[in-house]
Structure 1
Amino acid sequence: MNESQRLSSLRSLHAVGAQRDATTDAAARLAAHLLDCPIALVTLVDEDIQWFKASIGMDDCSTPRDVSFCTHALGLTANDVMVVEDATQDSRFVDNPLVTGEPHIRFYVGALLTGSDGANYGTLCVIDSQPRPRPDDATLDRLRDLARLVVAELERARAERQRGEQLHMLSMIEGLSGVGHWRVDMVDQAVFWSDEVYKIHDVSPEAFTPDFGTATAFYPEAERKLLNENWQRTLKGAGPFELDMCIRRNDGVVRQVVSKGAAEFAPDGTPLAMFGVFQDVTDQRAAMDVLARSHARFKLLADNAADVIARVQLDGNSNYISPAVERLLGWKPLEMAGRTAESFIHPDDRGRLAETFAQMARGQGSATLEHRLIHRDGRAIWGETRMQLVRNEAGRPVETVVVIRDISRRKALEAQLEQARAEAEAAAAVKAEFLANMSHELRTPLTSIIGFTGLTLEQQLPDLARNYVGRVDNAGRALLCTVNDILDFSKLEAGQVAIRPEPTDIDALARSTLELFTPQAGAKDLDLDLDLATNQASIVADPDRLRQVLLNLIGNAVKFTNQGGVRVAVTWNGVDERLRVAVYDTGDGIAADKLDRLFRRFSQIDGSQTRSHAGTGLGLAICKGLVEAMGGSIGADSIEGQGSVFWFDIPASAAEQQIAAGATPMGGVDVEGLRVLVADDHPANRELARAFLSGMGSVVDDAVDGAEAVERAEFAAYDVILMDMRMPKMGGVEALRQIRAGSGPNRRTPILAYTADAAEGQEAGLSAQGFCGVVSKPVAAEALIRAVSQAVSDASGAVAA
């Protein structure tokens, strides 16, 4: 045995440096008495020190190893004895400080302490300060026997300590695992329980002494009988038993336990003992039941779910696939074993799936993707795959839980919806084009009708002729209102109405709008009243849209009221910054069951009213759309026979600047001396524009289409060009481009779009194409003259800048 092994065996004794004990001291005294020596020692030698486990005749507890006699004995064979008759005559010790100094060793006899594993721990030695002859063999044998007793005591102490450590470890293991052990001596029927067995029974070793009868009393009668039967079979050599039973603990609680037992037999077959383990499995079984129920629910769900549920490793291999996959792809789960998820994906979609798995491997928590799957019969099926990352206890990604849903029907519906959307957009485009054409075709002749009847009424006419022309003017304006209602409602439906808030004098707007109905009200002898309850003269709102709503509401009130009057109440709340307008009338009122029809399109309360009061049935529907476009709400209240109130409220903040008052409609407008080119394919429209502008001092040329307009613009300089948008040969947009691209004098001349198209918010688009403004047909003289004046003014300002 080498030195390292010897030292390891010595340390296992835990005796070096330990307290002395009576057994080794007694052995040392016997050795001193046996050889009649004054000093006797039990030594243990480690790397550097010779320790005294027992010491007779010396007070020291150790010496350095390099001066010890025992070190030399360690090299002897097991249980051998080293004898030194006179140290002064031995070359090994002649200079040893223990020889030349205290205790002046001369005579030494040391018997090796050899362990059961062959390791030499040290010696049992006797020492004298006088030289002595070698003892006889019988005496040396007795010294060896004493050395064996010392070793036996050292190893017994080691075994006892190790047994204690094992018992302690066993107790700890039992406490952690909940498994106790027991033993029954079949000779004296003594019963041993470990601490855990006491704990399971809710009793203590101090208060309860188990025997066979009291131990089995914890079981119900039926299970006590079962235990006894298995006990007897095991004692007869039938082998170990294992039983699941119930006990009623000392505290009355019933617990599930597992008891396992085996028999120990003598050589002649006589049973000596029964031993075994005992465990409370109540909580474990409850957890297993919960797990089993959970697994059963999951299996029921997975087996019957329409979606496929799978556990897929990050390399694409599957740990589990639910049976629903057969309904989806035609493959049974077992048939898919050993194949990666990629092999069931359409080739064009495999790259996306591989990238998703790579992202999950990098820690992405979840992902959803739509892709095509390949059915067993080869057809493609659209699927939606939802993936959730699963991590191990260390937090590293290990697999994904995947749910695959068949979305083929949804994809088909999406394709149908996309086709329907494309068709709807195409239809909307056709509708928009139709509205633009209809607007152009209707408003163009109306421009001539209204314009020329207006000019005619300004002439000296006989009364009968004036009456006829007035009727024509009224009919034209009524037709224009009808056209405008239809086009405005179409714009609202298409979401093409633009709201342009600006500082607005609500007092002036409401008053001027109400005054427009003075002739109609006077003809019926109706009162028109305006009730203003606001201290804010100027608010931010769209004046044109407000006026349009007011015209409809006041016009209806006057139309359907035959006596009494109409009152308009305007209120502005500065706290909420909301404008509320209510129009009260004293007409016949509206039945409660018909109120909900008021704001529907093409709906009037009574067919007879439709005949006596002309209209499209769109007025209130347009009002509702405009008010809601402004962020407000509209409604009506009525009591049949007592009149009605139509109201609306919209958000309207206070304007920072006030509207200048007292300005005349044409104040600051001057077009005298301006050269204007009017391009329009309708002679009446050209003539009307000429009449309006010439009357204000402008010089007007005209062109019958865009090509002629380009030709004229190439040679003559104009201050403004009025360009119709729809003309044969060349439209207004192309004519503008050619004028701008040409070398003539009108490359920078402002060009106004002269249009009857119905598109809302067209100014921005036309401005982007190069037009400086829009003049809408049918045009009023004031609007045309003001637009021409503004265009020239803006162009002059741009040149000056």
Structure 2
Amino acid sequence: MCRRRWGAFGRCRPAPHGTPRYRLMTRHPRLPFSERPRLPDVASGFEAIEWAAPPRPALAAVLDDAATTVYGVIPAKALFAVLGGLASLALLPWTFCLAWIGGCLGLEAWGWIATRPPARGSAPGWGRRASFIGAYLAINGWWLLLGVLLWRTGGPIGQSVAAVVFTVVVALVFLLFHNTPMTFLMAGAGPAFGVIAVFAFEEAWDWRRMAIVWVVLGLGLLFCLGRAIETPSAQDGQRRLNHALKNYAILADNITDVIARSDLTGAYEYLSPACLPILGYRPEELIGVSRMDLVDPDCADIGLGAFGRMLADVSRTEVITVRLRHKAGHWLWVQSSVKLVSEDGRPVGLIDVSRDVTAQVETNAALERARLEAEAATRAKDEFLANISHEIRTPMNGILGALHLLKVEPISPQGRELMRLAEDSGRMLSQLLNDILDLSRIDSGQFDLIPEPVQVGEILNGVAGLLDEEARAKGLDLHWTAKGGETWIAADPVRLRQAMFNLIGNAVKFTPVGHIAVRLEVGPVEGGALRVTIEVEDTGVGIAAEAQDGLFERFRQARGDMARDFGGAGLGLSITRSLVRLMGGDVTFSSVEGKGSVFRLVFDAQPAVAPVAADAVEPGLLSGLNILLVEDNPTNRVVAHTLLTSLGADVVEAEDGHEGLAAARDGAFDLVLMDIQMPRMDGMACARAIRALDGPVRQVPILALTANVMAHQLDAYRAAGMDGVVAKPISPGLLIAEIGRLVEDTETFEPAATGETGALA
């Protein structure tokens, strides 16, 4: 079956074969079919509509194609003019004239029926079609009748003049001016009054003939008047159509996106001019080309998947991004918004709007690469920090442990002072290492607070008491007050102590002369919470106005020479604000250069119940405990062994994981102290192996002794079967407290709770 293109009441021409559809097209010869818009509700003869042709029997198809060919090939209006002229010359009998009129009517009716779509409302209505046919027949009929009458009543000259005038008028009416109101009035009314005039001058009047004439005249005038009135509507529709075409042409020519239409096979039927700058092809080069011929085979599944989803839901619009090949041969990324075109609920094609997003895709790819590189760098940083932490903490553990054990040895006062200085330096180095690890944890979101019942006043007394000696050495007056400080709240004591130490320590560091006042206040707020406010006021160097905005930035100090004059890495305030914000509060300040500063720490906490006081650590506290110590570093083994035995514990040593596993299998222990990084078999592998043994040994508590205490590492220890962790350098008090928790002697031991020591829960 072939596709036909029909001009309404005019000429039609065969269309290319291969597409089983009919199209009724607007009369606009300057535009190709694919660019002609569809405008509903315009005058007869100017609607542009589409539909799917219904199935037809073979014979009906042959007759339809034959009639269509005749109707399309023969110029209808020229044929009417010639036949009208011949009839007016009375060269043909009346029967032929009647047959001619009937043929005109039949041909017009056949053209209407053959092109009428199955869906009502898509084609001109019966009223418009009847109006046109009635006016058409009235015009032809009246001119034919006038010509016959003039031929019969006039002489040779009159006959010749009538024939010539008739032929010229009919030709002009049907070939040139058939769409003007005046032409229809003249064409309909002119010959009608001519007929009346012929009858009026005729000697033999017959009222019956005149009655028929008046009836026919009235009908003819009615049809012609209706057509004349309708013609401006048609012209208005044509003007609106031309205006719409102009607007569509402007949009298509200037829009930077490619607008395309294709059939269900993907073959392009129309592309806007924007395809030339984007794809390098002129629109006509891609007509009939399948879009899949341009798509990268790696992206074919994307388009097919979108097509399947649209078939399942015809109202769905898919937005896909695929690679298309440019005419020059390179690939570019194109984002398309695709939608099915459906008629009567059946999909008939695709329409899409596409744009070049190559730059955007490349930018996103660069950002993704940068993200992956940043994540890799972060992982490398974390691994580096973990390794350097282990490498520093391990010898530091030995140094501080040895210094702790030396306190019970007989040493001269001068030697004891040197020992104190060495221990203070080691703890300062450990604190700097802790600050760096805290930054890494905060950045990675792995920093956890461990709240427990605390008295903020007690923490302040401890911090201020430690710093008071340094302040007195500089000639400063450090005094503090604690209003409500005896109240118990739920907070992380280690982090709270760290924040206080940073604020008060900075005040002591940056105050050459004068005083430092610390005010603590704990009071109730709405909701039953308690608000903790700590103010640290000093008479120090102050902070310049231009440096205040960046005061809490990392590795930054108010002046470049402060690191030389006062020391420090510029991390304390940044870490302090981060810690307090994790508590739900904030740190603010006010400062005047040369006069001093006031720092204000505020956060809310829930009330807490006072815990049972812990007993003092006494010799023999661990009597009766059999402890397996697995540690590869000889110094650390000596320090830990000496500390544990001094408290009454029985200790068995193992130098690596293999020896530790063998000792655990053969002995009966109440606790295993396990280093993590060891040769041959590390601590986690040894812990997993112990948990896989049979018998009571698989339930023995395992406490990790390690310098690697980042959040993801604590998760790994828990997964390996360990029950707790104590960070190196080891604090004897924290180690004893954690041992007490694991052996469940709650009457003697208080659970340790710090960010680096505690249960792996």
Same fold (TM over 0.5): yes
Deviations 1:224-261 (A, max 9, x none): xxxxxxxx99997774385999xxxxxxxxxxx98743
Per-residue CA deviation, residues 420-439 of structure 1 (Å, 9 max, x unaligned), is 44433333322222111100
With over 3 angstroms needed to count, the CA separation of the structure-2 counterparts of 1:295 and 1:459, relative to structure 1, is farther
Matched, 1:567 2:493: no
Measured at CA, do residues 593 and 582 of structure 1 come closer, stay the same or move farther in structure 2, by a change above 3 Å?
Answer: farther
Q: Which residue of 1 aligns with 2:635?
A: 684
2:570 is equivalent to residue 646 of structure 1: no
Q: Is it true that 1:550 corresponds to 2:474 in the alignment? A: no
Letter in 2 for 1:544: V
2:383: which partner in 1?
A: 433
TM-score computed with the length of structure 2 as normaliser: 0.65
Query: Does residue 535 of structure 2 align to residue 583 of structure 1?
Result: yes
SS in 2 for 1:482: helix
The correspondence of residues 759-770 of structure 1 with structure 2, limited to 5 A, is 759-760=710-711, 762-770=713-721
| Alpha-carbon distance in structure 1 between the residues aligned to 2:238 and 2:458 | 84
- 2:186 aligned residue: 262
Matches within 5 A, 1:604-619: 604-619=557-572
Aligned amino acid, residue 480 of structure 1 = S
Indicate the residue corresponding to 1:713 in structure 2. Answer: 664
**Is 1:467 aligned with 2:391?**
no
Task: State the Cα distance separating 1:317 from its structure 2 match.
Answer: 4.1
2:326 aligned with 1:337, yes or no?
A: no
Label 1:426 to 1:371 Cα distance change in 2 as closer, same or farther (>3 A).
same
Q: Does 1:353 align with 2:306?
A: no
Unaligned runs of 5+ in 1: 1-171, 182-231, 246-256, 797-801
Mean Cα deviation higher: 414-423 or 632-641: 414-423
CA distance in 1, matches of 2:672, 2:240: 88
Report the CA distance between 1:450 and its aligned residue: 1.9
Moved more, 448-457 or 717-726: 448-457
The letter of the residue matching 1:658 is V
- Equivalent residue, structure 2, for 1:405: 355
Give 1:686's aligned amino acid.
R
Matched residue type, 1:601: R
Question: What are the Cα deviations for residues 348-368 of structure 1, in whole angstroms up to 9, with x where unaligned?
Answer: 433442332232233242112
Residues 502-557 of structure 1: per-residue CA shift (max 9 Å, x gap): 5554444444444443333444442322343699x444444433332222112212
Whether contact under 8 Å (1:724, 1:755) holds in the other structure is yes
TM-fit CA distance, 1:572: 5.2
Counterpart secondary structure, 2:622: coil
- Partners of 2:433 and 2:248 lie apart in 1 by 67
Superposition deviation, residue 397 in structure 1: 5.3
Q: Is 1:594 aligned to residue 547 of structure 2?
A: yes
- Tell me if 1:791 matches 2:748: no
Q: Which amino acid aligns with 2:576?
A: C
Kindly indicate whether the alpha-carbon contact (under 8 Å) linking 1:258 and 1:278 is maintained by their aligned counterparts in 2.
Answer: yes
Q: How many pairs align?
A: 564
Describe the shift of the 1:386–1:772 C-alpha distance in structure 2 as closer, same or farther (beyond 3 A). same
Structure 1 pair 766–244 and aligned structure 2 pair: CA distance change class (3 A) = same
CA contact (8 A) 2:670 2:701 kept: yes
The answer to whether residue 623 in structure 2 is matched with residue 697 in structure 1 is no
For the pair 1:733 / 2:684, whether they are aligned, the reply is yes
CA distance in 2, matches of 1:786, 1:663: 9
Q: Highest CA radius of gyration, 1 or 2?
A: 1
Deviation at 1:638, TM superposition (A): 1.2
- Report deviation, 1:445: 1.4
Deviation at 1:747?
A: 3.0
Hey, what does 2:574 align to over in structure 1?
621
What residue number does 2:699 align with? 748
Distance, in Å, in 2 between the alignment partners of 1:736 and 1:613 is: 46
Aligned to 2:212: none
Counterparts of 1:512-551 in structure 2 under 5 Å? 512-523=462-473, 524-532=475-483, 537-551=487-501
Give the number of the structure with larger relative contact order, counting CA–CA contacts within 8 Å between residues 6 or more apart: 2
Q: Normalized against structure 1, the TM-score is what?
A: 0.62
| Residues 1:262 and 1:429: Cα distance change in structure 2 (over 3 Å) | same
Q: Deviations over 1:596-632 (max 9, x none)?
A: 2311111122344323433111111212332344444
Q: What is the CA distance between 1:441 and its match in structure 2?
A: 0.9
Worse overlay, 568-577 or 762-771: 568-577
Aligned residue identity for 2:288: G
Alignment partner of 2:506: what SS?
helix
Alignment of 1:15-94 (within 5 A): none
Letter in 1 for 2:587: I
Q: Is the 8 A contact 2:273 2:283 kept in 1?
A: yes
Higher percent of residues as helix: 2
Q: CA offsets per residue over residues 25-63 of structure 1, 9 Å max, x none? A: xxxxxxxxxxxxxxxxxxxxxxxxxxxxxxxxxxxxxxx
Aligned counterparts of 1:414 and 1:543: Cα–Cα separation in 2: 45
Q: 1:608 to 1:711 in 2, by over 3 A?
A: same
CA distance in 2, matches of 1:289, 1:431: 72
User: What is residue 275 of structure 2 aligned with on the other side?
Assistant: 325
Measured after TM superposition, the shift of residue 443 of structure 1 is 1.0
1:180-199 superposed matches below 5 A: none
Secondary structure of the residue aligned to 1:782 is: helix
Do structure 1's residue 445 and structure 2's residue 395 form an aligned pair?
yes
Task: Measure, in 2, the Cα distance between the counterparts of 1:301 and 1:369.
Answer: 23
Question: Equivalent residue for 2:449?
Answer: 499
Aligned counterpart for 1:777 among listed residues 728, 731, 735: 728
Higher mean C-alpha displacement, 631-640 vs 777-786:
631-640
Distance 2:743 2:389 in 1: 28
Matched, 1:658 2:609: yes
What is the CA–CA distance in structure 1 between the aligned matches of 2:597 and 2:610, rounded to whole Å?
33
> Could you tell me how far apart the structure 2 residues matched to 1:636 and 1:780 are?
34
Q: What secondary structure sits across from 1:681 in the alignment?
A: coil
Partner of 2:317: 366
Equivalent position amino acid for 1:718 in 2: F
CA contact (8 A) 2:630 2:673 kept: yes
Q: What amino acid maps onto 1:727 in structure 2?
A: M
1: CA distance, partners of 2:168 / 2:523: 105
Matched residue type, 1:555? G
Q: Deviations over 1:691-750 (max 9, x none)?
A: 322222112222222222223323232211111111223221222233334468733321
Distance 1:325 1:555 in 2: 69
SS at match of 1:688: helix
CA distance in 2, matches of 1:282, 1:708: 107
Structure with higher strand content: 1
Q: Which moved more, 1:377-386 or 1:703-712?
A: 377-386
Distance 1:794 1:377 in 2: 81
| Greater Cα offset, 622-631 or 555-564 | 622-631
Q: Displacement of 1:283 after TM fit?
A: 8.5
Aligned 8 A contact 1:713 1:745 in 2: no
Task: Read off the aligned partner of 2:726 and give its amino acid letter.
Answer: V
* Contact 1:557 1:566 survives alignment (8 Å): no
Match of 2:675 in 1: 724
Name the % identity. Answer: 34
CA deviations 1:179-214 (Å, max 9, x no partner) are: x99xxxxxxxxxxxxxxxxxxxxxxxxxxxxxxxxx
**Cα distance in 2 between the residues matched to 1:598 and 1:470:** 33
Alignment correspondent of 1:167: none
Verify the 8 A CA contact 2:706 2:725 in the aligned structure 1: yes
Task: Report matched runs for 1:166-177 at 5 Å.
Answer: none
Q: One-letter code of the match for 2:544? A: A
